[in-house]
Amino acid sequence: MTNIEEYIKKELSKGFSKKEIKETLLKAKWPEDEVNNALKDVDAEEYPQHKHPSPKVWVGVAITLIVILIVGGLLFKYGYYDEMIKEKCKNMPTWVKVYNCAYEHGLIKPVETDEKAVEEVKETGEEEV
């Protein structure tokens, strides 16, 4: 086996293509006939080409992880956390404390008042609206 064949086998085992190896040898001033003959001699053996995952694969993996994190966060928030707060608030001794606990944890929204209606009641002096 010649040096050129050994070189070709070594480069093929590293994952370089035959085209790349041929271009390299020709740039190194090897005669084209000798390069072609060496490639034919080595051609009988199979060498795996190393393939790297494309960027599309990494984008898919990133999107999948983001979706998993979002779904996990939502499940925690609406499945576990809210139930934990409800249990905590439920065990308060008075309804005012239950209301305050639920309000602090965002389980209930503040009551919106109609400021215009409040002003009208104040002006008329009526006790009930």
Interatomic CA distance for residues 75 and 81, integer angstroms: 9
pLDDT in tens, 48-103: 556 667 788 889 999 999 999 999 888 887 777 767 777 777 676 776 777 777 77
Domain extents for the chain? 3-43, 55-124
- Distance, CA of 92 to CA of 117 (rounded, Å): 34
| pLDDT tens-digit map of 9-50 | 888 888 888 888 889 988 888 888 888 888 888 776 655 556
**pTM, to two decimals:** 0.35
